[in-house]
Amino acid sequence: MRILVVGSGAREHAIAVSLAQDPEVTALACAPGNAGTAAVSEQFGLDVGDNDAVVAVARTWQADLVVIGPEAPLVSGAADAVRAAGIACFGPGAGAARIEGSKAFAKSVMSSAGVPTASSVVVDNPAHLDTALGVFTPPYVVKDDGLAAGKGVVVSDDVEVARAHALGLLDAGHPALLESFLDGPEASLFCLVDGTTVVPLLPAQDFKRVGDDDTGPNTGGMGAYCPLPWAGAGLADDLVERIVRPVATELDRRGVPFSGLLYAGLALTSQGPAVVEFNCRFGDPETQAVLALLRTPLARLLHATATGTLAEQPPPDWSDDSAVTVVVAAEGYPATPRLGDVITGADGDGVRHAGTRRREDGAVVSCGGRVLSVVGTGADLAAARADAYARLEPVRLAGSHHRTDIGLRAERGEVSMPVSLR
Ligand code: GLY
């Protein structure tokens, strides 16, 4: 099978690494890729926002399957365009990708499906902002209603911080979504979905704040671990039945069946699980940890999803190990990342490149805020953490920063399932 992976993040590098090890994959390409994917696949320049260009690369290279990693091309219909060209595609069409592209659409689907989520108000006029804020109590949650790569979210006890963020969004012409705060540990559940067939992958947890102890602004994600040692073995199946299957069924009922990876970002609250957000693609950085534990050949699962034959596949097979991934970010990330710094020591096993490119003189340099992530595995979470941080040791990037506490609270037994889910 000839597989083209579209995207340039550590998620795409992790997907490419898994596919490169898969005997069913006869040729692998990434577009546009990064300095890491170039080591495992052919590489093509591509503007991922140009659907015609995505189709042209897939056609010219004679791809049997196109895997679209990032949300923006999915929301703008790249998967529809690839399928219209007669090529199998892993990723939802624009209609179903609205589950991520419009939070208002996602709320409407969840309401119809009877799926619990935070209560919310969309504000599109600054004159209505104070009345809307008055409906909520601290901590205030303010989100960009559209795509914002995780950075459009502010959670604050200070109503002035919430108001300023909402006004900033409105000034930029983006509606602001105000939400009630959901307490409890968060979990990311990735599911392969083909219409109404739903196959969960291992639950993971990611860390969105930039600093240790969940301090500082929200980011696209600074690290992740899986599985969740504090969760019961039945958690994924329980969440599928309560949350993901009803949403997949509702999308199907609305005539926009989902095909690809449906990512439920969840809060496991004292009242039961509730949805923080849905995403229409593999999450980053969780994918780097989840795929490190997958034993089933990835191409088979992605191809079955893309061709509507997922129900014929046996359940995925997993290693009993744990995995941890730690993101290395550029100086100034998330506000103003500095680009163009030389990176060394980033060719070890377990390093997944994101914002990297090879300069003409051969040096690998940074070209994005999240520069790379390092994956470690081990028999338990403590061993996986130790492995990840040991693999990070040789990486050198001036001014870079990373969190030192990915998975630490779980390792110490400080995270627990709420009684409602035990
Ligand atoms: N881990 C957050 C995201 O992928 O959106």
CATH code, domain with 145: 3.30.1490.20
Specify if 99 maps to a domain: no
Task: Provide, rounded to the nearest whole percent, the portion of the chain with pLDDT above 90.
Answer: 89
Condensed to tens digits (0 to 9), the pLDDT of residues 275-330 reads: 999 999 999 999 999 999 999 999 999 999 999 999 999 999 999 999 999 999 99
Q: How far is the CA of 354 from the centre of ligand 1 (A)?
A: 14
Q: Within this chain, do residues 153 and 191 fall inside the same structural domain, yes or no?
A: no
Tell which one of 279, 291, 352 to mutate to probe ligand 1, the residue whose CB is within 8 A of the most ligand atoms.
Answer: 279
The pLDDT, as a whole number, for residue 151 is: 59
The whole-number pLDDT of residue 183 equals 87
How far from each other are the two terminal CA atoms of the chain, in whole angstroms? 43
Q: Is 284 in the pocket of ligand 1 (CB under 6 A)?
A: yes
Q: Which of 170, 204, 211, 167 is nearest to 188 (CA)?
A: 204
Q: Which of 91, 108, 140 lies at the terminal end of a domain, its last residue?
A: 91
Q: What is the residue-wise DSSP string for 93-155?
A: -HHHHHHHH-HHHHHHHHHHHT--B--EEEE-SGGGHHHHHTT--SSEEEEESS--TTTT-EE
Looking at the domain assignment, is residue 364 inside a domain? yes
Q: Is residue 25 part of a domain?
A: yes
Quote the ligand 1 centre to 257 CA distance (angstroms).
22
Residues 201 and 291 in one domain: yes
In the structure, what pLDDT confidence band is assigned to residue 104 with cuts at 50, 70 and 90? confident
The Å distance, Cα 284 to ligand 1 centre, comes to 5
Residues 39 and 137 in one domain: no
Q: Are residues 306 and 332 in the same domain?
A: no
> pLDDT class for 149, splitting at 50, 70, 90?
low
How far is 43 from 37, CA to CA, in rounded Å?
8
Token code pair at residue 348: 């070890």
Residue ending a domain, among 91, 107, 142, is 91
| Residue 281 CA, closest ligand 1 atom number | 4
Query: Cβ distance 390 to 384 under 8 Å?
Result: no
* Residue 206 Cβ contacting ligand 1 at under 6 Å: yes
Q: Is 288 among the domain residues?
A: yes
266: containing domain: 186-319
Mean pLDDT confidence for 100-124: 92
Entry pTM: 0.93
Q: Is residue 173 part of a domain?
A: yes
Rounded distance from Cα 220 to ligand 1 centre (Å): 6
Q: Are residues 198 and 299 in the same domain?
A: yes
pLDDT in tens, 336-392: 999 999 999 999 999 999 999 999 999 999 999 999 999 999 999 999 999 999 999
Contact status, residue 270 vs residue 217, Cβ threshold 8 Å: no
Residue from 12, 286, 373 to probe ligand 1 pocket by mutation (most atoms less than 8 Å from CB): 286
Here the CATH number for the domain that contains residue 242 is 3.30.470.20
267 pLDDT exceeds 80?
Answer: yes
Give the C-alpha separation, 22 to 19, whole Å. 5
**319, 343, 365 - which closes a domain:** 319
Average pLDDT (83-105) is 96
**Strand bridging mode 65-68 / 42-43:** unpaired
Identify whether 98 is part of a domain. Answer: no
Residue 56 maps to which CATH number? 3.40.50.20
Phi, psi angle pair for 132, to nearest 5°: -65, -45
Residues 315 and 328 in one domain: no
Q: Whose CA is nearest to atom 4 of ligand 1?
A: 283
Counting DSSP H helices and E strands in the chain, the numbers are 14, 24
Atom of ligand 1 nearest to the CA of 285: 1
Let me know whether 193 and 291 are in one domain: yes
Rounded to an integer, the average pLDDT of 90-118 is: 95
Q: Whose CA is nearest to atom 3 of ligand 1?
A: 283
Note whether residue 406 is domain-resident: yes
Nearest atom in ligand 1 to 284's CA: 4
pLDDT over threshold 90, residue 411: yes
Using DSSP's 3-state secondary structure scheme, residue 367 falls into coil
Nearest atom within ligand 1 for CA of residue 220: 2
Mean pLDDT of all residues belonging to the chain: 95
Same domain, yes or no: 85 and 141: no
**Count of structural domains within the chain:** 4
- Ligand 1 in contact with 69 (CB < 6 A)? no
**What band does 418 get if pLDDT is binned at 50, 70 and 90?**
confident
Does ligand 1 have an atom closer than 6 angstroms to the CB of 150?
Answer: yes
pLDDT tier at 150, thresholds 50, 70, 90 = low
Angle at 396 between CA 390 and CA 398, to 5 degrees: 135
Q: Give me the pLDDT at residue 144, please.
A: 84
Q: What is the pLDDT of residues 221-257, one digit of tens each?
A: 999 999 999 998 899 999 999 999 999 999 999 999 9
Residue 221 Cβ inside 6 Å of ligand 1? The answer reads yes
Residues 6+ apart with CB under 8 A from 283: 11, 188, 190, 204, 206, 221, 224, 263, 265
Backbone angles phi, psi at 184, to 5 degrees: 100, 165
pLDDT of residue 23: 95
How many angstroms separate the alpha carbon of residue 286 from the centre of ligand 1? 7
> How far, in Å, CA of 280 to CA of 184, rounded?
23
* Residue 71 and residue 279 in contact, taking contact as beta carbons nearer than 8 Å: yes
- For residue 387 and ligand 1, the question of a CB distance below 6 A is answered with no
pLDDT for residue 421 is more than 90: no
Considering the domain architecture, whether residues 192 and 313 belong to the same structural domain is answered as yes
- Please give the structure tokens belonging to residue 175: 């509606």
Residues 174, 220, single domain; the answer is no
Question: Does residue 240 belong to any structural domain of this protein?
Answer: yes
Asked if 194 and 166 sit in the same domain, the reply is no
pLDDT at res. 361 = 96
**147 and 190 within one domain:** no
pLDDT score of 249: 98
pLDDT at 148: 64
